[in-house]
């Protein structure tokens, strides 16, 4: 049986993290798993809650940063502890539902895919109606990325990215914050022989800023920079 590693970057998510971890455990109840959670120097009770959760389940591994570094840095830290055959990236904010792990894993488990993206825009499932300009920004960034990678993704910025571990072994993550999404996409598009990349439709339960959403317009500008940098100036080994 393949082992699944779930990476969860986490910053000030005391309201959601217990529920999220419970959902992850439930989604993978019959599978060999490892949950690597990186606390990115939370200032609330997140780290204390994580310690309590790890004491209850030996599949949960907790790492922490002494300063806030960002999502990309947290994923980079988590990868040092990953031992699974397949890696899933999961945000801690409950915008993405772990019950959809089976559909995300299926193309890889069936031997058809090396990478799977969960698309919020390729779906008949529930999606919360929220910020117009965020939606437009996501569509633009995906389109701009696709121009360079020659992929036909519908949601490059999605949290849900699933990889065979050997794919991640071939790239080095450099971005510390949300620029990680276009960086990873650019780098996997350059791997040869060409990877088999799939998308599956997912639901999306977006948060407002009042509810704790963290990404801002500045991250959009960084994403544009990352698309240009890692597509034009990065060479795959």
pLDDT over 90 at 226, yes or no: yes
Inside any domain, residue 237:
no
Residue 207 inside a domain? The answer is yes
pTM for this predicted structure = 0.93
pLDDT of residue 237: 63
Tally of domains within the chain: 1
| pLDDT the model gives residue 130 | 66
Confidence of residue 186 (pLDDT cuts 50, 70, 90): very high
Residue 208: predicted pLDDT: 63
Q: Decide if 127 is inside a domain.
A: yes
For the four alpha carbons of 96, 98, 103 and 107, in that order, the dihedral sign comes to positive
Phi, psi of 128 (to 5 degrees): -65, 135
Instruction: Look at strands 161-164 and 3-10 and give their pairing.
Output: unpaired
Range of the structural domain that residue 137 is part of = 3-232
CA 153 – CA 161 distance, rounded (Å): 12
For residues 67 and 231, what is the distance between their CA atoms, to the nearest angstrom?
30
Of 71-75, 97-101, 215-219, the range with the lowest mean pLDDT is 215-219
Q: What's the whole-number mean pLDDT along residues 151-165?
A: 97
CATH number for the domain harbouring residue 214: 3.90.550.10
39 touches 63 (CB < 8 A) = yes
What local confidence, expressed as pLDDT, does residue 209 receive? Answer: 53
What's the pLDDT score for residue 132?
79
Which residues contact residue 153 at a Cβ distance below 8 angstroms, ignoring those fewer than 6 apart? Answer: 117, 119, 142, 145, 146, 185, 197, 199
């Amino acid at each position: 049986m393949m082992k699944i590693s779930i990476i969860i970057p986490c910053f000030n998510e005391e309201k959601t993290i217990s529920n999220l971890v419970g959902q992850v455990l439930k989604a993978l109840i019959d599978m060999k798993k490892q949950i690597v959670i990186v606390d990115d120097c939370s200032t609330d009770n997140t780290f204390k809650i994580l310690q309590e959760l790890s004491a209850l389940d030996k599949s949960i591994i907790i790492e922490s940063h002494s300063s806030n570094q960002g999502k990309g840095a947290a994923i980079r830290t988590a990868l040092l502890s990953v031992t699974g055959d397949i890696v899933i990236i999961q945000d801690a904010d409950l915008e993405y539902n772990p019950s959809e792990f089976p559909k995300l894993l299926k193309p890889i488990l069936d031997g058809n895919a090396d990478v799977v993206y969960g698309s919020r825009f390729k779906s008949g499932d529930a999606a919360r109606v929220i910020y117009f300009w965020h939606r437009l920004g996501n569509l633009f960034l995906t389109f701009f990325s696709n121009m360079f990678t020659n992929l036909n993704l519908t949601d490059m910025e999605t949290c849900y990215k699933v990889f065979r571990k050997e794919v991640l072994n071939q790239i080095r993550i450099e971005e510390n914050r949300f620029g990680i999404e276009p960086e990873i996409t650019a780098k996997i598009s350059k791997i040869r022989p060409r990877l088999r990349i799939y998308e599956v439709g997912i639901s999306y339960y977006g948060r407002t800023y009042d509810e704790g959403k963290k990404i801002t317009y500045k991250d959009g500008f960084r994403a544009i920079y990352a698309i240009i940098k890692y597509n034009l100036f990065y060479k795959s080994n």
